[in-house]
């Protein structure tokens, strides 16, 4: 395992970012109101037919995204350069996939 300070700093920063995304997922799991995706937006509870299932799907979406970041952080402890290449791939590729995934979730549970 590469014990350099840079690898641990990379791990710490990436793990904190992952924890935020996983935290959003946990919040979605526990929320009684429909979880929104866009900052400043709200989802009308009357527009969602099964709020619990809708929020569960949103929670899984966020947890999977954060979990991928955890895996990249762990990879960074053994191979920082490979993990460094994976971060932009995961973020740049993952953000549009989050939008697509959320839109599918919304359409599935929309009244």
Interval 16-56: pLDDT, tens: 999 999 999 999 999 999 999 988 889 999 999 999 999 99
Of 13, 26, 103, residue with least CA distance to 65: 26
H or E element that contains 43: none
Binning pLDDT at 50, 70 and 90, where does residue 2 land? Answer: very low
Whether residue 59 is predicted with pLDDT greater than 90 in this model: the reply is yes
Is the model's pLDDT at 98 over the cut of 90?
A: yes
Mean pLDDT of the chain: 92
Residue 1: pLDDT above 70?
no
Say which DSSP state 42 is in.
-
Partners of 110 in beta bridges? 48
């Amino acid at each position: 395992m590469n014990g350099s300070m840079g690898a641990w700093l990379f791990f710490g920063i990436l793990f904190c970012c992952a924890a935020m995304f996983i935290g959003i997922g946990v919040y979605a799991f526990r929320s009684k109101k429909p979880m929104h995706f866009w900052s400043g937006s709200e989802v009308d509870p009357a527009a969602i037919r099964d709020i619990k299932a809708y929020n569960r799907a949103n929670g899984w979406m966020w947890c999977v995204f954060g979990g991928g970041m955890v895996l990249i952080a762990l990879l960074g402890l053994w191979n920082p350069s490979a993990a460094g290449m994976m971060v932009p791939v995961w973020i740049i590729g993952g953000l549009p996939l989050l939008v697509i995934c959320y839109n599918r979730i919304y359409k599935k549970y929309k009244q």
